[in-house]
Amino acid sequence: MLIAHAATHNYTASQRYARRYVLKLDAEAALRRHEEKRKQRLVEKFNLDDGMCSLRVVLPALDAALAFDRIDRIARALPKDDRTLDQKRSDVAADLLMGKETPAPQGEVCVNLTMPITNILGLTTDPVMLAGYGPLPAPIVADVAANGIWKRILTDPATGMAEHITTYRPTVAQRELINARYPTCTMVGCNQPAHRCDLDHCCPFDGTNTTIANLRPKCRHHHRMKTHSNWFCENRPDGTHAWTTPSGKVIETELEPIAEPAPF
């Protein structure tokens, strides 16, 4: 299955598929590997030129996602000044680590986890998808999932693709369904989580085309690239998102199932 998939997909898509496939084949082994890797968590300092240093923290992916979300929320809530968002994040992280007071972020820290209901019921141990990262062994996210906000996403049993999400406000439902179908920026190789991306009108907004078919998540960099450069994109009827480079090369970003397709 993995070889057949790789024959028709790009490297990034094949890598994500392989990680999910290997984890599903032996969930217990995946959990053991995670526990061994977790023992290697550390903090390192690397000296740089011109009075600068790089601080590297290795920790579990879920913890890193939660920590980054808190830093990002605080940084985005700061008043506008001459700093970039990256500079604000760096300053916020330093303040938090040194115990300085920082403005409280609005709301709780947030990560998006996708898992089948059978995991929650204890019937399966299928991989859990962490937005912006990929598959994780189910047991390591059980507490977060149990205490989080749940949203019901219905998938096509044949393909595993998101088809409908239950919510009360249509505009929110629209965004969340698109984010469920396209968990990251739709530029090939970009792993920016969809909930941190802009919802881009692939065909320019005309007052009526704010639709599921026309909207795709793009990080701010690739959104600007599409708008202000000679890169073009196209949403195809089968759900794929095609980019055309300035040289005319076409690159496709495919739909990725968020659930395992049902065997037939």
Q: Is residue 25 part of a domain?
A: no
Q: Is residue 139 part of a domain?
A: no
Structure tokens, 204: 């320019």
Is residue 19 within 8 Å of 61, Cβ to Cβ?
A: no
Classify burial at 107, counting beta carbons within 10 Å of its beta carbon; exposed 0-12, middle 13-18, buried 19 or more: exposed
Instruction: Name the domain count of the chain.
Output: 2
107 versus 69: the higher-pLDDT residue is: 69
pLDDT value at 152 more than 70? no
- Determine the average pLDDT of the residues in 150-179: 66
pLDDT value at 59 more than 70? yes
Q: Is residue 13 part of a domain?
A: no
| Model pTM above 0.85 | no
pLDDT tens column, 73-109: 899 989 999 999 999 999 999 999 999 988 777 667 7
Q: Is residue 197 part of a domain?
A: yes
pLDDT value at 3 more than 70? yes
**Mean per-residue pLDDT over the chain, rounded:** 82
151 versus 4: the higher-pLDDT residue is: 4
Q: Is residue 119 part of a domain?
A: no
Going from the C-alpha of 239 to that of each of 75, 76, 156, the distances in angstroms are 34, 32, 14
pLDDT tens column, 44-57: 999 999 999 999 99
Confidence of residue 252 (pLDDT cuts 50, 70, 90): confident
Q: Is residue 189 part of a domain?
A: yes
For the chain, the residue count is: 264
What pLDDT does residue 167 have? Answer: 44
CA nearest neighbour of 111 among 86, 136, 94: 136
What pLDDT does residue 203 have? Answer: 81
Q: Is residue 82 part of a domain?
A: yes
52 versus 263: the higher-pLDDT residue is: 52
Question: Which residue, 97, 115, 141, sits at the end of a domain?
Answer: 97
The domain in which residue 57 lies consists of 42-97
Q: Is residue 201 part of a domain?
A: yes
What pLDDT does residue 169 have? Answer: 34
